[in-house]
Chain A
Amino acid sequence: MSSQPVLRVEGLVKWFDVTHGLMDMVLGKHIFSRAVDGIDFEIETGHVFSLVGESGCGKTTTGRTILRLTEPTRGKIWFSGFDVASLKDGKLKEYRKQAQMVFQDPYQSLNPRQTVFAGIAEPFAIHGLRLSSEQEYDSVSKALEEVQLRPPEEFIFRYPHELSGGQRQRVAIARALVLNPKFIVADEPVSMLDMSVRAGILNLLASFMKKHNISILFVTHDLAVARYISDNMGVMYLGKIVEQGISERIFQRPLHPYTQALIAAVPVPDPRHKIGAIPIAGEISSSINIHPGCRFHPRCPYAKPLCKDQEPPLRELERDHLVACHFAETIEQAPCDNMLRSVSGRESSE
């Protein structure tokens, strides 16, 4: 790893207490939804690490726990040298200046009663930076300029409902960047935008990364977007990372059956590929009563008795490419029939 990582997550765990039965309460038996069940990863400065998985796999919770928007149950979060997991008030507020978030729903992430100016200027007031209104006005216009909302005068006194989805997301990004953070969690920033506008936002985030040396934790369920924007990647299933490493390596040589199935299931904008048989059935199970052993074994076409007993550790099969599956090597040699058709027949370079 060349440069010192801006963020390192060690054994991060986040369980939600979902006990509601009267009897359970009386007996003190707690039921937990194990949203994040122990994950580790690093993000280097100026890099994008994307967390990919189906809804309910814990990727969003990871992002919000790292920013302390929900309290972690266990684990360490190292942010440029100190553990953020246990920060308190003053220190936490300081951390908040350097780590920001971009939200999924452009229609909800801006206060409908605040103009664009008030929204972007609010962080100054929150952090007590006594700026005169001229300075505030200038920095807000500069921020708008940076997110390509030109000319700023036309947008600065508008209300959110007067802007399109794409424009609103740019305002949200401007607000997140106005304090010059070192790290951003982007939680599905483009999934609610029109196709034509998505690329613009992705390119914007990419340009910020280079210009301000910002690192981004990019949470998404859309593998195509993940491949386009991320340098490193982690595939999550039921609160654990099942495959992790450099994105290109994972896309060219997916090792975990779940990753393979995910990639096979994604449609491609090319009429020559027709929807093929999907090797795995059923839906992601609930994160409350998780089976022992490998979490994926109920849906895995290669499941063996060992998978039911022992949880496979995350091991490095090739440099910067880890996988949590006992039989990753054998699967690669003899993939089951429909998996073959759906994965290999797809390689195309445009």
Chain B
Amino acid sequence: MSFFSYLVKRTVVLAATLILVLLATIMVAGGFGIVDRVAESAIRQDVNMMMRNNPNLARLTEAERLQIMQTLIDEQRRAAGLDKPFIERVPKYLLQALSWDFGKALYLRSSSGSSLVSDIIAEVLPRTVLLFTTGALLSALVGIALGLLMARKPLGLFDRVMTAFAVVSNSMPLWWVGMLLILLLAFTLKVLPAGGFVSVPVPSDPVAYAFDVLHHMMLPLIAVVLVSFGGWAYTVRSLLLDTFQQDFILVARAKGLSESDVMYRHALRATAPPIVTLLLLSIVGSMGGAIISEVVFNWAGMGRLFANAVSFQDVPVIIAETYVFSFLYVAVFLVLEILYGLLDPRVRTGASVQG
């Protein structure tokens, strides 16, 4: 079945790409010696601490203490494999990353106190997914509805106004709109909390907790939808207008189908594949861009963790997050291929969808 073989081929290509991306991240990080320098300073710190609170070393002379410290440091460096050149250690890092074992964070901790990077990420990832998937879905729904209306009367007043709004809203960075909304809604009108994921003290009962999170999510959600639904409406409208040029729309009208039948049963269904593609791309795209917005909204997700990791120079967390982002990207591309095949029969039984 050529579609299945096509899928197998695509999965192999995507998996290879993912490993290449991971390799690139590690090389970039390791290549500049940052990883080694940071690891060595961590070791030196541990050894110092160990030496200081070890009573019986106090009596030794300065030179002897230094000598012992050096041996301890060398021992630890060998244990961590730092003595071997970086290139040899890349496979080890690669394998670790592939098995989601990103080692320990240097400074950052998960709310449960664990310093394991994978725990930290596991804690923050759902929050980002929650916010940006809901945001993207909402913008898509609003956008598709408006796009349909615009396509009904092309070049009509509503169409022109919405197109202008689409261009304007596309030219505004999400995080700036977020800052303005905080100023307006949180500072001036005091309607919504200025940021954060949940209020302190954390409500114990789950329903109250859910509502509290929703309450905190309102402001970022409004920002996300405000910035992207215009673009959605314009894209859907253009796709529909292209489909209207096709002959089968004329045939559908000639068959005496009502205008709404023509619109929903034929036009919308024929443009479903590209719309779904755009939806998935927008979800993963927005997550990639979430770093700054989460800082502005103080939304404790992947983005803010990344920003903190950058300011604290917590390299293991940075590498892990970059990898997770790439993993999400590639995973979405794969889901995309499968979905495209299901929605568009020509792909299911015909040639591949790429180019």
Contact = CB atoms under 8 A, between A and B. Distances in A.
A–B touching in complex (CB under 8 Å): yes
A22 B351 contact: no
A20 B9 contact: no
Interface centre among B5, B8, B9, by most chain A C-beta atoms within 10 angstroms, is B5
Contacts of B349: none
A21 interface: yes
Nearest to B5: A22
Q: What 9 pairs across the A-B complex have the smallest Cβ distances?
A: A22-B5, A21-B5, A21-B2, A22-B9, A22-B8, A20-B2, A23-B5, A20-B351, A22-B6
A23 B6 CA distance: 11
Interface string B287-319: 000000000000000000000000000000000
Contacts of B8: 22
Contacts of A23: 5
A23 to B, nearest CB: 7
A22 B11 CA distance: 13
Interface in B329-355: 351
Nearest to A20: B2
A22 B8 CA distance: 9
9 contacts: A20-B2, A20-B351, A21-B2, A21-B5, A22-B5, A22-B6, A22-B8, A22-B9, A23-B5
Nearest to B4: A22
Contacts of B6: 22
A22 B352 CA distance: 12
Interface in B1-38: 2, 5-6, 8-9
Contacts of A22: 5-6, 8-9
A78 B339 CA distance: 53
Interface residues of A, number: 4
A21 B8 CA distance: 11
Contacts of B5: 21-23
Contacts of B2: 20-21
Contacts of B9: 22
A326 B156 CA distance: 69
Contacts of A21: 2, 5
Interface string A2-33: 00000000000000000011110000000000
Contacts of A20: 2, 351
A246 to B, nearest CB: 44
Among A20, A21, A22, A23, residue most surrounded by chain B Cβ atoms (within 10 Å): A22
B203 to A, nearest CB: 54
A217 to B, nearest CB: 32
A336 to B, nearest CB: 38
A109 B351 CA distance: 28
A21 B350 CA distance: 11
A197 B268 CA distance: 42
B310 to A, nearest CB: 43
A23 B2 CA distance: 9
A121 to B, nearest CB: 35
A21 B5 CA distance: 7
Interface string B230-259: 000000000000000000000000000000
Interface in A16-69: 20-23
A20 B5 CA distance: 9
Nearest to A26: B5
A22 B5 CA distance: 6
A96 B300 CA distance: 69
Given A21-B2, A22-B9, 4 more contacts: A20-B2, A20-B351, A22-B5, A22-B6
Nearest to A24: B5
A21 B2 CA distance: 6
B15 to A, nearest CB: 15
A26 to B, nearest CB: 9
Nearest to B9: A22
A20 B349 CA distance: 13
A91 B9 CA distance: 42
A105 to B, nearest CB: 20
A267 B6 CA distance: 45
Interface string A275-294: 00000000000000000000
A21 B6 CA distance: 8
Nearest to B351: A20
A233 to B, nearest CB: 36
A22 B2 CA distance: 8
Nearest to B7: A22
Contacts of B351: 20
B129 to A, nearest CB: 33
B353 to A, nearest CB: 14
Nearest to B8: A22
A23 B351 CA distance: 15
Interface in A291-318: none
Nearest to A22: B5
